[in-house]
Amino acid sequence: MNTQTKTDLPHKAAIEVAGVNKWYGAFQVLKGIDLTVNKGERIVICGPSGSGKSTLIRCMNRLEVHQEGSIIVNGIELTNQLKRIDRVRSDVGMVFQHFNLFPHLTVLENCTVAQRWVRKLPKKQATEIAMKYLERVHIPEKADKYPGQLSGGQQQRVAIARALCMNPSIMLFDEPTSALDPEMVKEVLDTMISLAADGMTMVCVTHEMNFAREVASEVVFMDGGQIIERNKPDILFSAPTHERTRRFLGKLLH
C-alpha cells in the first residue's frame, strides 16, 4: 500500500478545500474557495442558483474537476489518479437531486451492486447490509420493487440507503429535496436528520432553511462562485453580515 496516498493518522478534517478555482470555458464558476469540513460537522451550503454550490459539492468527490487549488478528502488529495478517486468515492456517499437510481435493477440490487463490485462482498452479506439500511430508511418492504414503481420520496430514501451501504464516513447531498413534491420532502429530511443525529459528517446543498436551522453545525452562503459568509445557523439567519446574504434570505423566507 502506498503510504503517500493513505494516512491512518487520525485526521481532524474530513474535507479540506483550499484555493479552488474552476472554469467552464471562459466562465469562472468557483473563485478561490477555501472550506474545511471537520469530522462530525454538518455543513449546509445555500445560495442562489448559479452560485456554484452544486459544482463545489460535486468537486468534493471529483464528479467535477477543479483546475486550481487542492481538495483533500480524508487525507487523500483528489488528482487525476483514478485509483485514488475510486477509493475516495467509495468512502464518500452522494445523494443527487434526481436520485440517479439504476432503473433496470431492483431496490435491493441498487443497494448491493456497489458492495459486490467495489467491496467484493458475497451476495448474502451484501443483502444483509442492504436490508439493514433499507430498514433504517423505513422501506424494507420495497426491496424487490423497481425504482420506477416508487414515489419520489421513496426513491430518494433508497438512494440514501444505497449510499449508506458503502459505510461512508462522509455524505454529500446535492439538493436532495428539490425534485420532490412538497408532501415528500419531510420523509427525506427526517432521514437526513436521523443521520445527523448519529454523528455523520455531512455536506448538504439545500434551500431547506428549517433543516439547516435544526441540524447544521454551520451554514455557508455562496454567491457568484464565492463563499460570502459562513456562520452558525442561528447567527447567519438572524444577523447576516453581508447585504447579499440578507437579500437572499429575505427572498427565501418570504
Partner 1 sequence: MFQLDLFLHAIFSAPLFKGALLTIGLSVCVMAVSLVLGMGLGSMAGSPRPAVRWLVTLYVWLFRGAPALLVLLFVWNGLPQISEIFRAGWFTPFVAAFLALSLIQIAYLAEILRSAFAAVGPGQREGAAALGMHRWQIFLVITMPQALRIAVPALMNEFISLLKTTSLATVISLKELMTVSQFAIATSFRFLEWYGAALVYYLVIVSVLTLAQNRIEHVLSRGYR
Q: Which member of 118, 235, 239, 252 binds partner 1 (CB under 8 A)?
A: 118
Asked if residue 105 binds partner 1 (CB under 8 A), the reply is yes
Asked if residue 137 binds partner 1 (CB under 8 A), the reply is no
By CB under 8 A, the residues from 50 to 79 that bind partner 1 are 61, 63
By CB under 8 A, the residues from 30 to 49 that bind partner 1 are none
Asked if residue 176 binds partner 1 (CB under 8 A), the reply is no
Q: Taking a C-beta distance cutoff of 8 angstroms, is the pair 90, 104 a contact?
A: no
Q: Taking a C-beta distance cutoff of 8 angstroms, is the pair 208, 182 a contact?
A: no
Site of grid cell 454523528: 199
Asked if residue 102 binds partner 1 (CB under 8 A), the reply is yes
Strand order through the sheet with 42-46: 92-95, 170-174, 201-205, 42-46, 218-223, 226-231
Give the DSSP letter of residue 14.
Answer: E
Asked if residue 114 binds partner 1 (CB under 8 A), the reply is yes
**Helical pair 152-164 and 107-117, crossing angle rounded to 10 deg:** 20
Closest separation between CB of residue 117 and partner 1, Å?
5
Listed in sequence order, the residues at least 6 apart from 141 whose beta carbon sits closer than 8 Å to its beta carbon are none
Closest separation between CB of residue 253 and partner 1, Å?
31
Q: Taking a C-beta distance cutoff of 8 angstroms, is the pair 91, 170 a contact?
A: yes
Show the cell assigned to 215: 441540524
Segment near partner 1 (CB under 8 A), from 33-41, 83-91, 183-191, 221-229? 83-91
Asked if residue 84 binds partner 1 (CB under 8 A), the reply is no
Q: Which residue, 82 or 197, is less far from partner 1 as judged by CB?
A: 82
Nearest to 113 by CA among 166, 170, 58, 167: 166
Closest separation between CB of residue 28 and partner 1, Å?
22
Q: Which residue, 24 or 117, is less far from partner 1 as judged by CB?
A: 117
- Number of neighbouring beta carbons within 10 Å of residue 182: 7
Closest separation between CB of residue 107 and partner 1, Å?
10
| Element counts in the chain: helices (H) and strands (E) | 9, 10
Q: Which member of 5, 38, 106, 169 binds partner 1 (CB under 8 A)?
A: 106
Listed in sequence order, the residues at least 6 apart from 168 whose beta carbon sits closer than 8 Å to its beta carbon are 90, 91, 92, 93
Q: Mask 182-221, x = binds partner 1 (CB under 8 A)? A: ----------------------------------------
Q: Which member of 35, 45, 57, 101 binds partner 1 (CB under 8 A)?
A: 101
Residue 5 three-state SS: coil
Q: Which residues bind partner 1 (CB under 8 A)?
A: 61, 63, 82, 86-94, 96, 98-106, 113-114, 117-118, 146-149, 159, 162-163, 166
